[in-house]
Structures are given as C-alpha cells and as structure tokens.
C-alpha cells in the first residue's frame, strides 16, 4: 500500500480516528482512546505504533500456528484482549464496479 493521505478526525465519544489512504483506494482506519494533548503528528505516530504492534502480534500468532500440531480451532482471527490494543482497527478494500 502506497500511502497518499492521512486524516485525523476530531474527538468523538472519547475516541480519535486516524485514516491512512492508499493510492489504489485502500483505507486503514485506527480508532484509539483519547491520549492527552497530542498534536496531529503525535496522533499519527501513535496510530502507526498501534499498527506496528498489531502486525507484530499477528506475526507471532502466525509463527505459533505454524508450530502447532493440532488442527485450527476457528478462533484464530478473534481479537486479543491485549492491554493497550487499539479500540478499533479495520481494513476496507476499494470497491470495484463490474
């Protein structure tokens, strides 16, 4: 994903949303609990850190799954209850017309 735009929304219900837009229409949205008096740059850096932590935990989960000897349980994609994890993270792929 080649990043072309970053948008920080205002505080809504105690949460801040940062959206990262890609050149092919991808959108990654990170919703976080209010974190003090961060400026735009600080808020974007905090959202990037959330994504980095998520990717690290996904990589660790994939690695442990590769080493598991039993069958999948069907809960592999369930969100973790990790303290400090994002309150919401979603990936929206671009819609394409046929």
pLDDT tens by residue, 3-37? 999 999 988 888 999 999 999 999 999 999 987 77
Region 68-85 average pLDDT? 47
pLDDT of residue 87: 46
Tell me the whole-structure pTM to 2 decimals: 0.60
Cα separation, 63 vs 59, in Å, equals 6
Which three-class secondary structure state does DSSP give residue 29? strand
pLDDT of residue 63: 65
Cα separation, 55 vs 82, in Å, equals 13
Instruction: Give the strand pairing for 3-8 and 88-92.
Output: unpaired
DSSP label at residue 83? T
Percent of the chain with pLDDT over 90: 45
pLDDT of residue 39: 87
Residue 80's contacts (CB-CB under 8 Å, 6 or more residues apart) are 57
């Amino acid at each position: 994903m080649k990043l072309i735009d970053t948008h920080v929304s205002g505080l809504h219900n105690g949460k801040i949303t940062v959206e990262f837009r890609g050149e092919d229409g991808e959108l990654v949205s990170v919703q976080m609990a209010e974190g003090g008096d961060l400026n735009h740059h600080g808020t974007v850096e905090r959202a990037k850190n959330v994504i980095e932590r998520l990717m690290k935990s996904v990589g660790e989960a994939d690695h442990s799954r590769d080493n598991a000897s039993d069958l999948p349980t069907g809960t592999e994609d369930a969100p973790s209850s990790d303290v400090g994890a994002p309150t919401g993270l979603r990936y929206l792929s671009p819609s394409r017309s046929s």
